[in-house]
Amino acid sequence: MAYRESAPVTALTTANASGGNSLAPMPFRRYILTSAHGDSGRGLAPITTPITMTGNRTTVTRDPSGSVPGCVGDSLERRECPVSASSHLSHSPARPNSLKETAMPISPSSGSTGGGTAVTITGTNLGGATAVRFGTKLATITANTPTSVTVTSPSGTGTVGVTVTTPGGTSNPLSFFYIGAPFKSGLSEVSGPTAGGNTISITGTGLSTATVVNFGAATATPTVVSDSQLTVAVPTGAAAGPVGVSVTTTGGTNNGLSYTYVDGPTVGTLVPASGPTSGGTAVTIPGSNLTTTQSVTFAGAPAPFSVISDTAISAVTPPGTAGAANVTVTTSGGGATVTGGFTYVAGPGI
């Protein structure tokens, strides 16, 4: 790369590594880029990589007789001067090219405070990466190409800058945010049918990045309502009984809640099976899986009830219309109906 001074200088350093050239001028000096063309020993070739100038208040301008676009860097941060495809890069004196690596997107841009997140950084001139730092902590490099670096994040908190170091220097930082593990405080329903399909709410904190909810070994995808609430359709259970509920977010996994799968009820013949239309008849309803009974209805009208055992319920009939009425028992595991299970009998009229 050829340049000329616009004011006297006492020092100029040229940092070199594979791939290009970067100039580090003394503070508060001004240089004019006069030309850019291919090395004489390598032949002319189009240049598409930015020329990078670093230093305190570095200024790069286009020479009036040249064709290289100019740019200005007014801080300690790097500024890049793009070179058109028709321009070429040369060195005076000739020496190997050196281009500082440029890190761009980072994915994902957040992860668990405990570390262990697989993170990929993409950019240019990233080959031969010697270190990736999250703040001051080193990450483990698991894969590296000229355009990407994949690492395992270290533990941390808050937002940190991620930098990539290669023989050409260290990139500008990219932001990475550490997320704490979620905390669950409760379930809107603690039991349901083994068939699943019922929707429940999960409350807590740190739930906004939730991706999976486990009910034992069964998984479900939640809908995020807010950072403090999720809704999820309960998956089918392997068998009746309690299972642990866990929520997985970017910040980790939290256990501690329990959900019980319940088999659906069965209902037998009511005793007695008839009574007056005015209601008030005490009946016993036999069956199975009745412990979690939630309601009893006669022809759709709710009846007061009490659970005697898993195999029996007592109920009091509500008023009804003369004739047969369907009796339905609903539990956490579902519902069961005895068609025409109770007959309302009209009283005598005088």
- Same fold across 102-179 and 266-345: yes
Residue 184 class from Cβ within 10 Å (0-12 exposed, 13-18 middle, 19+ buried)?
Answer: buried
Each domain of the chain, given as residue ranges in start order, spans: 2-81, 102-179, 183-262, 266-345
Cβ–Cβ under 8 Å, residues 190 and 209? no
Largest CA distance in the chain: 126
What confidence score (pLDDT) does residue 28 get?
35
| CATH no. of 266-345 | 2.60.40.10
Average pLDDT for consecutive 10-residue bins of the chain (350 residues)?
38 36 38 42 41 43 41 38 40 39 79 92 94 96 96 94 94 92 88 94 92 95 95 95 93 89 95 97 97 96 97 98 97 94 90
Q: For residues 176 and 107, what is the distance between their CA atoms, to the nearest angstrom?
A: 9
Superfamily of domain 102-179: Immunoglobulins (2.60.40.10)
| Residue 58 structure tokens | 């570095």
Q: Which residues contact 42 (CB under 8 A, 6 or more apart)?
A: none
Residue 256, pLDDT score: 83
The DSSP bridge partners found for residue 297 are 302, 328
**pLDDT at res. 225:** 96
Model pLDDT for residues 176-219, shown as the tens digit of each residue: 999 988 887 899 999 999 999 999 999 999 898 999 999 999 99
Which three-class secondary structure state does DSSP give residue 181?
A: coil
- Number of neighbouring beta carbons within 10 Å of residue 302: 11
Distance CA 145, CA 276 (A): 85
User: Which CATH fold topology does 183-262 show?
Assistant: Immunoglobulin-like (2.60.40)
pLDDT attached to residue 153: 96
Q: CB of 243 within 8 A of CB of 213?
A: no
Give me the sheet containing 282-288, strands edge to edge.
Answer: 266-267, 282-288, 312-316, 305-309
**Residue 101: its pLDDT value, please?**
55
Give yes or no for a contact between 220 and 227, defined as CB atoms under 8 angstroms apart.
no
pLDDT tens figures, 149-171: 999 999 999 999 999 999 999 99
Could you give the CA distance from residue 221 to residue 14 in angstroms, rounded to a whole number?
Answer: 54
Residue 312 to residue 146: CA distance in whole angstroms = 72
Q: Check residue 70 and give its pLDDT.
A: 43
- pLDDT value at residue 104: 67
DSSP 42: T
Report pLDDT for 75: 35
pLDDT at position 30: 39
CA–CA separation, 122 and 148 (whole Å): 4
